[in-house]
Structure 1
Amino acid sequence: MATRKIPRATAKRLPVYYRYLNVLLNANKRRVSSTELSEAVKVDSATIRRDFSYFGELGKRGYGYDVEKLLNFFKGILNQDKLTSVALVGVGSLGSALMNYNFHQSTNLRISAAFDPKPALANTVKSGIPVYPVGEMKKQLQEQQIDVVILTVPGEKSQTVTDELVEAGVHGILNFTPVRLSVPKDVQVQNIDLTNELQTLIYFIENNNTKDSQK
């Protein structure tokens, strides 16, 4: 396998490829071309070939890609050949919705623990997931060997909680708060700002409408 560093944009597309390859395998399709992949996942074929090239020779000219072999390859790359437990910090409206989402249906991920400061939620089970008081967060994360956390706490508390997560040994945070977190270099943060995404979507809609009206 190539040892080049994989661009972040490429890494973000890998789960998209993986999900569609699962669809193809379930449909008993044995091989697929980059053009077919392109039409399905809405990524141009040249980008797909470039993404795949970071991992070596995955297909054959004139044949395309063996669906099962490619799926198994990405399963290993994305750690989908083993169950990965993640934790949720902040059992509010958004946190509760995420706890009800069936991650395991499409990935080998599961929320195995949740944490919240509200006394009424401490030591309860919500959507089949145990909810612990935040005072037990470090202990539970270390005992359960959880390395990835979904953060849905209020923005003003996000950095304090993040510092505690880093101290507990967490190396990955999916951040649903509007705050840009300060973390050590060995901790990865993926920011999901729903308000920003909606504003960006509305901007593009308005911008496209403006262009259309000027034609």
Structure 2
Amino acid sequence: MLHEPSKIPQATTKRLPLYYRFLQNFANAGQKRISSQELSEAMKIDSATIRRDFSHLGALGKKGYGYDVQDLLAFFRKTLDQDEATNVALIGVGNLGSAFLKYNFQRNHNTKIVLAFDSNSPLEGEKISEIDTFHPDRIEEKIEEYGIELVILTVPSRSAQEVTDRLAKTNIKGILNFTPVRISVPDHIRVQTIDLSVELQTLIYQIKQH
């Protein structure tokens, strides 16, 4: 029987959207049940890791049966709030920011970029990749107007903390930080930092160990 997790390891948390995506693929193919080994082969994740993750979630499965695909999908949908869209703002429409706007997340996820800010945009706003884009001077006003919960930060490093301090005065709940700066936020805001240079160096190190 699945139960809602109170607290699960961060590594497990990061894999939840991947489980959901792959389970959707199996469901779309008409599969009713699945084993940890089948998921392991599809996702290239060790089956013991999958079983441990699922045990954290209360998904114990049945020996000789595996896991019920629809039950797992329903659980992950609830856990990841897939039935409720999250409005996202992007701050910094440079090369990386532009790529986010062109992709937008609504195609595959429950999140949608509905607002953007860039220093080259006018105060009255403009459309970039069909997204309303304003000058950063209007951050506080527009974050509230659009009901933004999550911000993607792709500004230059020198501006990261200054922009974050302004965001801290709004009602946002999280920041996905793509700057190399370790930004400081109040307790009510969660931060996930993705430093592309660190990720690349980590990958290079791993390659050289083989």
Output the TM-score relative to the length of structure 1.
0.90
Aligned to 2:54: 52
Aligned to 2:186: 184
The residue type paired with residue 191 of structure 1 is T
Match for 1:123 among 122, 125, 142?
125
Output the TM-score relative to the length of structure 2.
0.93
Q: How many residues align?
A: 208
Match for 1:83 among 79, 82, 85?
85
Aligned to 2:17: 15
CA distance in 2, matches of 1:116, 1:102: 17
Q: Map 1:144-163; keep pairs closer than 5 Å.
A: 144-163=146-165
CA distance in 2, matches of 1:138, 1:120: 16
User: Per-residue deviation at 1:176?
Assistant: 0.5
CA distance in 2, matches of 1:144, 1:132: 12
User: Per-residue deviation at 1:185?
Assistant: 2.4
Percent of pairs with identical residues: 53
Q: Map 1:123-142; keep pairs closer than 5 Å.
A: 123-142=125-144
Gaps of 5+ in 2: none
Deviates more, 1:151-160 or 1:197-206: 197-206
Runs of 4+ in 1 over 6 A off after TM superposition: none
Aligned to 1:212: none
Change (3 A) 1:185 1:120: closer
Gaps of 5+ in 1: 209-215
Conserved 8 A contact 1:116-1:122: no
Q: Map 1:103-114; keep pairs closer than 5 Å.
A: 103-114=105-116
- Per-residue CA shift, 1:31-53, capped at 9, x if unaligned? 10011111111222222122112
Q: For 1:104, what is the secondary structure of its paired residue? A: coil
Question: What RMSD over aligned residues (CA atoms) do the two structures have, in Å?
Answer: 1.6
